[in-house]
Structure formats: C-alpha cells, structure tokens
Chains A and B, each alone.
Chain A
Amino acid sequence: MSDLKLKIHSKTLKEMESHAKLIFPYECCGFFFGNEANGRLITRVLPVQNVKNGDQRRRFEIDPVDYMKAEQHALENNVKLLGIFHSHPLHKAIPSQHDLKQALPYFSYIILSVYSNSIEDITSWRLNDEGAFENEIIYLTDKKSSYGKNHYSNTA
C-alpha cells in the first residue's frame, strides 16, 4: 500500500464531483489548495475552464493565466497549491500516458471517473523520484463518506 496520503472533507470532494458531472461529457479540470502541516490536507477547490483546443472529451489544458492566478492565490492566502484535478469521462480513474507525460513533481493529481451523472471512482497520484506515478490514498476527514470504492478510505 502506498505511503502517500491526501486528506479532504467530503464536502470539498463533492465540489470536484459536481464540477466533473456539470462538464460531462467533456473533461473538467481545476486546482486544489491546502496545507501540509500534518500530512497533505485539501481545504479549497478551484475549478477552471478546460481551454484545450481540440477534443475536450479526451483532453484538458489549463490556461496559463489561471495557473498564474492559482499561484498568486496560494501566496496571498498562505496556503499551498497542492495539485490538479481532472476528469476522465467514460474512462477509468487511471492516469494515461498523456497524463504521465505532462505530470510535474510535487503535485497531487486527482482523477475522477465520470459516467453521465455518476462518479464511478476517484483516485490520486503523485510522481515519485523515478518519474512514475504512485497511487495516493484519499482519506475523508469527516469519516461520513458513502464513497468507499477502490481507492477511498474513510479511516485516517
């Protein structure tokens, strides 16, 4: 089992889920912020527009201006930009080769598998020193989750 952990309140996670369902059948994307005082904890989600020039059902791209604003937000609010979330409409929540090619160190990458109005799975991944993705366990801080699918755990 991975040692990497990511903590989030189910309400915060719901914001990502709602955005993924809203944007379906296209890929959604966004940032999340938080702190690392006691493990990596997500406290805020910021959905942004997918600006990919092409088939947005299979690809996403974030506007550099949105990225710049996300870094500014983190600095001004003394929080960390912890990572990126995006959806895989009609596909599993497993990173693709394209995801891996574009991945950056440090960031957590949350992937939501979405089928129409249903979130089938949510996973998180982080690059290791060898440049490969490692699965990151998602813990729900309120422990009242109804999720509990493959990669969830509701016990910290």
Chain B
Amino acid sequence: MARIIIPTPLRKFTKDESTFFSSKKNVLEAIEELSSFYPEIKNNLFDEDNKLRSFVKVFVGDKDYNSLQEKDIELQDDTVVSIIPAIAGGTGK
C-alpha cells in the first residue's frame, strides 16, 4: 500500500497520525481516501470544486505531482506521497 505522509500542522485532523496507507493506485484517489477517512482534513486539502488547494503541493517520491506529465501515475506498495503546505512570510513592507 502506498504511504501518505501527513504534514505536521494537519495532524490535528488525523488524530495525530503521521501516516496514512492507501490501497488506491491513483494519487488523487489516495488523497481522497485519506479525506474520507479523516473528513476534517478535507477542507484543508481540497477547494469547493474538489481541486487541490493552491497552497498544497503533493510530491510522489521526490517529484512534484503538478510538474509530472503523467497525471495517472500508478502508486506502488513502496510509493511515498507527501502532502506539503506552502511555507512563506516576511515583513511585507
């Protein structure tokens, strides 16, 4: 089963679990399965159109999912999927 790494700030929605195992073979389906299992996390990952939010990146192994040509990558048992929130800030002046 593919392993999804849940970012630390979102673990308040997953009972502090850091990892979710999915039997899905498709990246988005695996993340949707995570959202179904932990419904409170869904609004932090998907917008009202059920698309991944712009400040959320997904990496499959060490590859940015958004930059991959092949969107329907088949997840293997040893695939690690990382959900990555945008980290930014500054003085703003």
Interface residues of A (CB under 8 A from B): 27, 29, 52, 58-62, 64-65, 67-68, 71-72, 74-75, 80-81, 84, 86, 88-89, 91, 95-99, 102-107, 109
Bound state CA distance, A104 and B6, in angstroms?
14
Chain B residues with Cβ under 8 A from A105's Cβ? 9, 12
Is the Cβ of B91 less than 8 Å from the Cβ of A61?
A: no
Q: B53 at the A/B interface (Cβ < 8 Å)?
A: no
Interface size in chain B (residues, C-beta < 8 A): 23
Known: A68-B59, A75-B18. A102 touches B64 (CB 8 A): no
Interface residues of B (CB under 8 A from A): 5, 7-9, 11-12, 18-19, 57, 59, 62, 64, 82, 84-93
Partner of A86, one of B7, B12, B64, B89: B89
Q: Which residue in chain B gives the minimum CB-CB distance to A109? A: B89
17 CB contacts below 8 A, A to B, read: A59-B92, A62-B87, A64-B57, A65-B62, A67-B84, A71-B82, A75-B5, A75-B19, A91-B91, A98-B91, A98-B92, A102-B87, A104-B87, A105-B12, A106-B8, A106-B11, A107-B9
Bound state CA distance, A97 and B18, in angstroms?
30
Known: A71-B82, A104-B85, A106-B11. A64 touches B64 (CB 8 A): yes
Chain B residues with Cβ under 8 A from A107's Cβ? 8-9
Partner of B84, one of A60, A64, A74, A103: A64
Q: Which residue in chain A gives the minimum CB-CB distance to B11? A: A106
Q: A64-B86, A102-B87, A104-B87 are in contact. List 4 more A-B contacts (CB 8 A).
A: A64-B59, A68-B84, A71-B84, A106-B8
Is the Cβ of B88 less than 8 Å from the Cβ of A62?
A: yes
* A54–chain B nearest beta-carbon distance, Å: 9
Bound state CA distance, A52 and B25, in angstroms?
34
Bound state CA distance, A59 and B88, in angstroms?
7
Chain B residues with Cβ under 8 A from A98's Cβ? 88-92
Is the Cβ of B8 less than 8 Å from the Cβ of A81?
A: yes
Bound state CA distance, A98 and B88, in angstroms?
8
Partner of B90, one of A58, A72, A81, A106: A58
6 smallest A-B Cβ distances: which pairs? A59-B90, A98-B92, A104-B9, A96-B92, A62-B87, A99-B89
Chain B residues with Cβ under 8 A from A52's Cβ? 88, 90
